[in-house]
Chains A and B, each alone.
Chain A
Amino acid sequence: MNHTPLIALVGNPNAGKSALFNALTGARQKVGNYPGVTVERKSGRFALEDGRPVELLDLPGTYSLEPSSPDEAVTHDVLLGKQEGERLPSALIVVMDASNLDNHLRFALQLIALGLPTVVALNMIDMAERDGLKIDVAKLSAELGVPVIPTVAVRKRGIDALKVAVGELATTGPRISGGDVAVLHEDIVGLQRRARAIAVAATTEESFRRRWTHRADAVALHPIIGPILLAAILFLIFQAVFSWASVPADMIDAGISSLGEIVGDAMPEGFFRSLIVEGLIAGVGAVVVFLPQILILFFFILLLEATGYMVRAAFIMDHLMARVGLSGRAFIPLLSSFACAIPGIMATRTIDDPKDRLTTILIAPLMTCSARLPVYAVVIAAFIPDRAVGPGIGLQGLVLFALYIAGVAGAMLAAYVLRRTVTKGPPPGFMMEMPKYQAPAMRDIALGLWTRAMIFLKRAGTIIAFTTVILWLLVSYPKPPADYDQPAIDYSIAGRIANGITPIVRPIGFDRDIALALIPAMAAREVAVSALATVYAITDGDEAAQERSLVDRLRGRWPLPTALAFLVWFVFAPQCISTIAVVRRETNGWKWTGFMLAYLFALAYIAAGATYWAATALGL
């Protein structure tokens, strides 16, 4: 039983709800999921002035109580006590943007009419003053019939007063019994007019001008400068993801290696030592190495979101996305997928059109995620000569760029075809509020990063740990008899599966060793590199050959068409168990997950085969 009072935080998007949530709860947050729907449940705890603990529930930001998107349905159901697995909140904190009163008041009127004890947080009061608005808080409170507390969540102003007001609510009990249900069904337009009347009455001085946002948009949305600025920002992000991350990633890598050695030395030789050192530590380590890249990417995404630029990026990209049947909203999830498809697919939750969202999920794995980079790096280093093709342009870098472009082109083509076949539907509209620009609070970004890091590590510790152990078992067992003269891996289950796959992949230029490496690479793409290294180190036999780099080995073994086909395979193939698991969860079943696997593998097979045969025909 849970006797802690539940307080729900509700409001429009862009009212500063998350910042207020962070200011009230600090780092004591829990992120989960509502059963059956892909809506995040975020809650935290804080103590009232008198020390009583309360649980604060951060409901998804919505414009009204009409349940049309999954987010809105959850907000609606929680507030009416209909949400499965959730208590009816004992009080509400309604967040309003003081500089956008007339619009936010409409939703507030609906919420107050629910009859739950309510306090209004008149947030971003500093912004409203900067915009030339003076609001009579006492008058607003009288009009609404509930306490109104001016706050500046990002600066932690007004938070204590808000806690006092919430504490008083919890003792006075419901204001209206039963609630004024009629208001819930009142026409939006009627409510809007009432809201506007209240806003006008409560605003004592008005010389509304949003100077900063106006000036910034003149640049950010300029027909020529805007796209150039966006391209420059994206370039900076990619540079940062790949260059800043290498030092911490190397440190994590070294840390995992030494952890493996320490554990390996401490344990007796045998099944459990191999399981833990080679299976668990090496396998989970291979994924945790990507934490710095993911955090750097998320830092920029959170920063762009907090400043208000992200919506501008969606605005600029909308027309291009519309050509393949998507909307500007799909741009953000697809951008995230360049670091990792998992956060990208999770970010599709903000797309309200279900077909638009599904299509975005299905093409997200085509964005070149950071796990492909180690594979590309090794194969390019082995087969593409390191020479310049122009001033400052190297052939190797050009090939890498081409692989990224191939992924994007494949995704656009896939979206175009999908939207005209299996995810056919009316074109998704693009209708978004463009919030004002604001300086982000670094604390909110740090908290966001912390939450993301925890989700990622939790996944690495559960799903990924489990699958890598399974794959390790497949690769390691059964052990060959003592007189077996082939590499031990050939005798294992994975070796036998590889024998089965080889005839299928031979037409696209892959031999049995490659087929073998593709099996553990299902856990994560970069595992292909270590798998190839293992296979060749074992087949070469001599221990000294361990020192020979994988690059040298590949050069001696693979013809160029095979190497190119291998690269192209990795552009398209859905070789990532975690992504598959997330797609299954986000699409609520195996139907679309199976479809995605089938079409991506087919695409990879055809593209790799075409590359192999074209390269062979050209005599490469």
Chain B
Amino acid sequence: MTSHAAITLDQLPISDKGSIQSIDWSLLSEKDGRRLRELGVDEGVTVEKLHKGPFGRDPIACRIGRMTVALRSAQAAAILVEPASKS
């Protein structure tokens, strides 16, 4: 495995976990940014990549906190995740 370098959420492999390091709000429209905050996206929150869409690997489904949230890769690219170390 690579080291624990932060990667964007769309790049996180399926069933890997991590915690949100930072969010680049400038990559998101105001509306998308607000929606993401409402869905619980915040620094320090744990995420787990769960599924990818069957066609074109988009959208993706992630567990964010206790919710499962579907979003497109374009928005997930704004979320920087520090992968959890694997046991």
Contacts and interface: CB of A to CB of B under 8 A. Distances in A.
Contact of A100 (B32, B51, B66): B66
Given A213-B68, A434-B69, A318 B58 contact: yes
B78 to A, nearest CB: 11
B70 A103 contact: no
A430 B51 contact: no
B61 interface: yes
A431 interface: yes
Given A217-B51, A430-B72, A322 B67 contact: no
A408 to B, nearest CB: 16
Of the candidates A189, A227, A319, A320, the one having the most CB atoms from chain B within 10 angstroms of its own CB is: A319
A193 B31 contact: no
B7 interface: no
A221 interface: yes
Contacts of B32: 429, 431
B77 to A, nearest CB: 12
A217 B50 contact: yes
A316 interface: yes
Given A102-B66, A103-B65, A319-B58, A431 B40 contact: no
Interface in B25-74: 29, 31-32, 34-40, 42, 50-56, 58-59, 61, 65-72, 74
Given A318-B53, A434-B61, A208 B72 contact: no
Contacts of A103: 39-40, 65-67
Of the candidates A100, A103, A106, A311, the one having the most CB atoms from chain B within 10 angstroms of its own CB is: A103
A21 B68 CA distance: 25
B51 A102 contact: no
A340 to B, nearest CB: 28
B19 interface: no
B60 to A, nearest CB: 9
B71 A68 contact: no
A426 interface: yes
Nearest to B63: A210
B75 interface: yes
A224 interface: yes
Interface in A98-130: 99-103, 106
A188 interface: yes
Contact of A224 (B31, B54, B66): B54
Contacts, number: 111
Contacts of A213: 68
Give chain B's interface secondary structure class. mixed
B54 A102 contact: no
A433 B37 contact: no
Contacts of A102: 40, 65-66
B70 A319 contact: no
A398 B59 CA distance: 33
Contacts of B50: 217, 221
Nearest to A434: B68
A319 B59 contact: yes
A520 interface: no
Contacts of B53: 315-316, 318-319
Of the candidates A222, A429, A432, the one having the most CB atoms from chain B within 10 angstroms of its own CB is: A429
A63 B41 CA distance: 13
Nearest to B37: A188
A423 interface: no
A192 B40 contact: yes
Interface in A209-253: 213, 217, 221-224, 226-227
Interface string A140-171: 00000000000000000000000000000000
A71 to B, nearest CB: 13
B59 A430 contact: yes
B38 A221 contact: no
A328 interface: yes
A66 B33 CA distance: 13
A101 B56 CA distance: 34
B67 A315 contact: no
A224 B55 CA distance: 10
A226 to B, nearest CB: 5
Given A102-B65, A192-B40, A315 B58 contact: no
A316 B31 CA distance: 23
Contacts of A322: 58, 72
A310 to B, nearest CB: 12
A221 B66 contact: no
Contacts of A222: 54
A193 B71 CA distance: 22
Contacts of B65: 102-103, 196
Nearest to A308: B68
B56 A319 contact: yes
A431 B37 contact: no
Given A221-B51, A429-B32, 15 more contacts: A64-B34, A102-B40, A217-B61, A221-B50, A311-B70, A315-B70, A319-B56, A426-B29, A431-B35, A431-B39, A431-B69, A431-B70, A433-B69, A434-B61, A435-B68
17 contacts: A63-B39, A64-B38, A100-B67, A101-B66, A221-B54, A224-B54, A311-B70, A316-B54, A318-B70, A319-B54, A319-B55, A320-B55, A431-B70, A433-B39, A433-B67, A433-B68, A434-B70
The 9 closest A-B CB pairs, nearest first, are A63-B38, A434-B68, A319-B55, A221-B51, A188-B37, A319-B56, A223-B54, A432-B70, A431-B71
